[in-house]
A and B are shown apart, each in its own frame.
Chain A
């Protein structure tokens, strides 16, 4: 059976949700006639037309704010950021309005929007286009943040996000869109992956590698190498959802392996892994045989130079080295 690519899985989820609910509308730059800058929305405009798949001007604060306003009247906009880095020109709308309006209205309003787009470095596009703001948004109560690593989870989480009645920011990855390592054998039946559920992607006994997004793929490759070359049986935990967070799966894994290395493309200071580390030391301290270590991006703006950027973000050799430091 042919595997479905991450990009195709997202496309299928969007297509099905357009069919399932006529309030769903896809809005973004180049999402319609151009078929998406990364082809995630390929063919949807042709199938669904101008009303359901809408090209916008380059105007993120305007169209995302507009989507938030429309959602208050029951429309369910799925808005693409060509890069999640572009969220920074729309932060007032994405944080002050989307995240706070339910609270400030005493629960009388809700905001069922999805903002989706790639949140990753590693493509040599320089610092402005390589931000990974999942930690930034997960810091904001009122928002939900998911970061699928595989086509299966991208499909299931996108469907859950669209059906959810709170704002959900779906962090994708340009390097995963066409990556065979992230492709999945998808069932023909519709299914969802619940937001707030992590998954053990590989069972192991010696150390827990805990990651989200593309770092899960890196962790799986590192686990393979650790097994084959070092005789270390690593478990890989995929967070899938950052907020809400499945603490139970994380703690269960650490209680089993007694060691944790966190792999996180965020910069280290207050990255997603900072929260995971805090949780482990607070709730599984007695299970730990070693300090919790992290492999994050090297703490500088994303460098352009292609070979250096590959070292700046988490990669297999950095993970293998870090695991060995556990002793």
Chain B
């Protein structure tokens, strides 16, 4: 009952009330695209098509889609290694993302970054970072750059609940408030830092975002599975960034259905599959949104099926695209290391840069 009242509260806010039916369907489409992409990634990973790690975003889709939907020309996003959802939400294509997973030269990073390192600076998306909390000072820097150049924008820096205990995050929080930078730290709290629960990894009062009190930073918590709530709370933080150049910490509760990565051998041991099933049954962000749109008569079952089929096809086609693409040439392994060398500037022509035989 409480949830219904709260959802109603957020849906009535201007930020959500102003949404057109097309906007609402677009959110559904984006969430479904992310899920189908991730399912396809898992399938082809298990077929041995890609190497390394694969951290899937399934179950958390509403956060990337809800936050990205608010971003304008001067707003930027940066995240950690569970980055496929954010990449698709900012408009990267399934083809370039899947090809990157396959290690192909048509990938978004030419096969040089992999699953954890997707980038699209032309879409204000700055990665895709592999080291836990390593992106948090970079997000701060994006905010510094905005403020330095007098641009009205915000840097949305995503992190997991495991990242809150890293020193670089705390250093970033101190600087964020000290210098009043328009950064928004968005903790996607799925309850586990790899296999260690929040209770076993973090000292906290009530929530993790509350650590902002130590720095005098505004903070808020919310349900991450509800796009209306994600948008409402993010909008408030973005207004604070845009209008007052102040930082915010947001914490959204969420659930990752898969293990930490596909290589997580203990995924079914440190938490119970029944709990995940219960969440899927009752709180799945796509199901919750879909039901709401059915209720609002924005879309019907047929419309949903059409959209879902399209996402499945798009994901499948991206795997074909990736499969048919070439791997980078061995000669390209030393490209993209130095700007000056790649561009053969005077500086790039001076001295020896690479020392292999």
Contact = CB atoms under 8 A, between A and B. Distances in A.
Contacts of A65: 134, 136-138, 140-141, 168, 171-172
Contacts of A75: 141, 144-145, 148-149
Contacts of A96: 130-131, 134
Given A69-B144, A75-B145, A164-B340, A105 B139 contact: no
B315 to A, nearest CB: 22
Given A66-B175, A75-B148, A244 B113 contact: no
B172 A62 contact: yes
A114 to B, nearest CB: 13
Interface stretch (A190-198, A206-214, A261-269): A190-198
A70 B148 contact: yes
A164 B149 CA distance: 20
Contacts of A17: none
Interface residues of B, number: 60
A73 B146 contact: yes
Contacts of B129: 97
B273 interface: no
B138 A97 contact: yes
Given A72-B138, A244-B352, A57 B144 contact: no
Contacts of A59: 171, 174-175
Interface string A241-261: 101111100000000000000
Interface in B91-120: 107-113, 117, 119-120
Interface residues on A, range: 35 or more
Nearest to B116: A104
Given A73-B149, A165-B340, A68 B138 contact: yes
A144 to B, nearest CB: 8
A109 B126 contact: yes
Contacts of A197: 350-351
Contacts of B110: 106-107
Contact of A109 (B119, B145, B175): B119
A92 interface: yes
Contacts of A66: 137-138, 140-141, 144, 172, 175
A249 to B, nearest CB: 9
B350 A194 contact: yes
Contacts of A195: 347, 350-351
A103 B137 contact: no
Given A72-B121, A102-B337, A164-B347, A107 B342 contact: yes
A51 B148 contact: yes
A106 B351 contact: no
B352 A247 contact: yes
A275 interface: yes
B339 interface: yes
B137 A93 contact: yes
B276 to A, nearest CB: 32
Contacts of A245: 351-352, 355
B340 A103 contact: no
A61 interface: yes
A74 interface: yes
Given A75-B148, A92-B168, A103 B336 contact: yes
A293 B337 CA distance: 33
Contact of B351 (A62, A73, A164, A246): A246
Contacts of A73: 76, 141-142, 145-146, 149
B224 interface: no
B128 interface: yes
Given A62-B175, A109-B121, A166-B338, A69 B351 contact: no
A104 B346 contact: no
A71 B353 contact: no
Contact of A107 (B117, B172, B335, B345): B335
B259 interface: no
A64 B137 contact: yes
B203 interface: no
A285 interface: no
B354 interface: yes
Interface in A24-80: 25, 51, 56-57, 59, 61-75
A324 interface: no
A225 interface: no
B167 interface: yes
Nearest to A250: B352
A165 B343 CA distance: 10
| Residue from A73, A107, A195, A246 with most neighbouring chain B CB atoms (10 Å) | A73
A69 B350 contact: no
A141 B334 CA distance: 9
A51 B148 CA distance: 8
A160 B347 contact: yes
Interface in A273-288: 275
Interface in A287-301: none
Interface string A137-152: 0000110100000000
Contacts of A62: 137, 140, 168, 171-172, 174-175
Contacts of B119: 104-106, 108-109
A71 B353 CA distance: 22
Nearest to B335: A107
B141 A104 contact: no
B13 interface: no
Please give me the 10 A-B residue pairs with the lowest Cβ-Cβ distance, nearest first. A69-B141, A65-B137, A196-B351, A62-B171, A244-B351, A73-B145, A107-B336, A196-B350, A69-B138, A106-B110
Given A62-B168, A106-B110, A141-B354, 9 more contacts: A65-B136, A66-B140, A68-B141, A69-B143, A73-B76, A103-B113, A104-B113, A109-B121, A142-B337
17 contacts: A56-B175, A57-B175, A65-B168, A66-B138, A69-B139, A69-B144, A69-B155, A70-B142, A97-B138, A104-B117, A108-B122, A142-B338, A165-B339, A165-B340, A195-B351, A246-B352, A247-B352
